[in-house]
């Protein structure tokens, strides 16, 4: 046994030792030139890069990605720009239905589309640009109550009847099955019938010589008056709790009727009124105030609540929601008064990231769409949008033709 061991040792010592050296091999394996587990690249999606023939609007389009993205582990929204194109009054909610004086005839008042504030919508309803209620017998004043923030609709009253603000389908004379498209919820009402309250003003008494003419226009029309009144019953008179500026009022005694509007509330017993359709001076006294109608909205009137737009990316479903519109969407983007900028200051602290496990093999395109809450496409009104993503990819070292240069 020992002789064999000595022979083996002597034999191996006589052989040349040669370590394996791949430098002498004809084909070398790829070098492991990548050390990172993943790399991030920036992907910019601009709606102007879409095919306009296939996707004429910037609210729904596909963008083909020319650079190859493979083994994607995450898609994160890091920046974006959306134009300020939101209309809070549009064709789906710009109708105002009303009937008056016990009539079954329903007037459909169409409000111009646009982006309104609480104040500018009231101005339009109050005839700043045109009299939307010119067909109606009564005059209407819209305001926002300073205390309860509800929408207040006031009307003068020729016939001592109520007016009806009605949003039900059966009140739509054009088509009983058609959508109402009402402004109701935007100004604090629900989809139901509301009947105004008659405010009794018969206790207001104006003594003689307490309607004082204040000025006269250049064409000699008497316009502005001061009225000081009192109560001829035990009921307390406080003009501040009855009227707001702009309210309509009818003063009458016998056959004389004067249509007026509240110009200023001076105190609890004194107001200034403006005559709106009379050229003769007002010289009345006694119980001359006609009743008025007032209706308050059920909820707060605030049209300035900022909406959000739903961003859907078919390749990146992220959200879970009870709403079918936002379920499987990528994210919700709150809109601002000006152009909406998406950046670190507006994004959630944890980011908006869609993780892919297992990794997404290849990303060749993105299908982008922007929706309203009801699922309809958001209207950018001819404006474009831009989104920027960080795309995380796996590094795949040690494979032929599949390594990704991290530079």
pLDDT at residue number 171: 44
Domain annotation for the chain: domains and CATH numbers: 38-86+307-394 (2.60.120.550), 87-200+292-305 (no CATH), 203-290 (2.40.10)
Binning pLDDT at 50, 70 and 90, where does residue 13 land? low
pLDDT at residue number 214: 85
Q: What is the mean pLDDT of residues 274-290?
A: 87
Q: Given a cut of 60, is residue 14 above it in pLDDT?
A: no
pLDDT at residue number 182: 85
Q: What is the mean pLDDT of residues 283-301?
A: 93
- 97-151 pLDDT, tens digit per residue, is 888 877 778 888 999 999 999 999 999 999 988 899 888 888 899 999 999 999 9
- 264-281 pLDDT, tens digit per residue, is 999 999 999 999 877 778
- 317-346 pLDDT, tens digit per residue, is 999 999 999 999 999 999 987 889 988 778
SS (H, E, C) the chain: CHHHHHHHHHHHHCCCCCCCCHHHCCCCCCCCCCCCCEEEEEEEEEHHHCCCCCCCCCCEEEEEEEEEEEEEEEEEEEEEEECCCCCCECCCCCEEEEEECCCCCCEEEECCCECCCHHHHHHHHCCCCCCCCCCCCCCEEEEECCCCCEEEEEEECCCCCCEEEECCHHHCCCCCCCCCCECHHHHCCCCCEEECEEECCCCEEECCCCEEEEEECCCCCEEEEEEECEECCCCCCCHHHCCCCCCEEEEEECCEEEEEEEEEECCCCEEEEEECCCCCCCCCCECCECCEEEEEEEEECCCCCCCEEEEEECCCCCCCCCCCCCCCCCEEEECCCCCEEECCCCCCCCCEEEEEEEEEEEEEEEEEEEECCCCCECCCCCCCCEEEEEEEEECCCCCCCCCCCCC
By DSSP bridging, strand 248-253 and strand 340-342 are unpaired
Instruction: Round to the nearest angstrom and report the end-to-end CA distance of the chain.
Output: 63
pLDDT at residue number 406: 37
Q: Given a cut of 60, is residue 364 above it in pLDDT?
A: yes
- 344-355 pLDDT, tens digit per residue, is 778 877 889 999
Q: Given a cut of 70, is residue 231 above it in pLDDT?
A: yes
Binning pLDDT at 50, 70 and 90, where does residue 404 land? very low
- 67-93 pLDDT, tens digit per residue, is 889 999 999 999 999 998 999 999 888
Q: Given a cut of 60, is residue 401 above it in pLDDT?
A: no
- Compute the mean pLDDT over every residue in the chain, rounded to the nearest whole number: 84
Q: Which residues contact 70 (CB under 8 A, 6 or more apart)?
A: 361, 362, 363, 393, 402, 404
Q: What is the mean pLDDT of residues 290-310?
A: 92
Q: What is the mean pLDDT of residues 42-62?
A: 96
Does pTM top 0.85 for this prediction? no
């Amino acid at each position: 046994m020992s002789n064999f061991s000595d022979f083996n040792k002597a034999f191996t010592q006589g052989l040349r030792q040669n370590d394996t050296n791949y430098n002498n091999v004809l084909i070398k394996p790829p070098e492991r030139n990548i050390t990172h587990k993943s790399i991030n690249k920036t992907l910019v999606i601009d709606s102007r890069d879409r095919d306009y023939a296939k996707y004429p609007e910037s609210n729904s389009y596909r963008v083909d990605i020319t650079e190859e993205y493979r083994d994607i582990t995450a898609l994160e929204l890091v920046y974006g720009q959306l134009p300020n194109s939101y209309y809070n009054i549009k064709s789906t909610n710009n109708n105002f239905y009303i009937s008056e004086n016990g009539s079954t005839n329903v007037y459909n008042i169409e409000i111009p589309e646009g982006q309104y504030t609480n104040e500018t919508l009231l101005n339009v309803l109050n005839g700043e640009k045109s009299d939307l209620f010119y067909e109606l017998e009564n005059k209407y004043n819209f305001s926002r109550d300073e205390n309860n923030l509800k929408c207040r609709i006031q009307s003068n009253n020729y016939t001592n009847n109520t007016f009806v603000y009605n949003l039900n389908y059966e009140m739509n004379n054009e088509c009983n099955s058609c959508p109402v498209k009402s402004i109701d919820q935007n100004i604090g009402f629900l989809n139901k019938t509301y009947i105004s309250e008659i405010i009794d003003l018969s206790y207001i008494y104006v003594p003689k010589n307490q309607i004082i003419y204040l000025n006269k226009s250049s064409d000699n029309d008497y316009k502005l008056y001061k009225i000081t009144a009192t109560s001829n019953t035990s009921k307390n008179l406080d003009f501040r709790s009855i009227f707001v500026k702009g309210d309509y009022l009818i003063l009458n005694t016998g056959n004389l009727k004067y249509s007026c509007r509240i110009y200023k509330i001076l105190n609890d017993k004194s107001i200034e009124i403006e005559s709106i359709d009379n050229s003769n001076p007002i010289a009345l006294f006694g119980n001359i105030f006609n009743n008025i109608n007032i209706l308050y909205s059920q909820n707060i009137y605030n049209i300035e609540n900022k909406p959000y737009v739903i961003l859907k990316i078919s390749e990146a479903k992220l959200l879970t929601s009870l709403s079918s519109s936002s379920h499987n969407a990528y994210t919700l983007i709150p809109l601002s008064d000006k152009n909406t900028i998406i950046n670190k200051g507006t994004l959630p602290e944890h980011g908006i990231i869609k993780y892919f496990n297992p990794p997404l093999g290849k990303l060749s395109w993105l299908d982008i769409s922007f929706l309203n809450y009801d699922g309809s496409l958001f209207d950018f009104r001819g404006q474009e949008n831009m989104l920027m993503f960080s795309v995380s990819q796996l590094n795949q070292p040690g494979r032929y033709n599949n390594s990704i240069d991290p530079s």
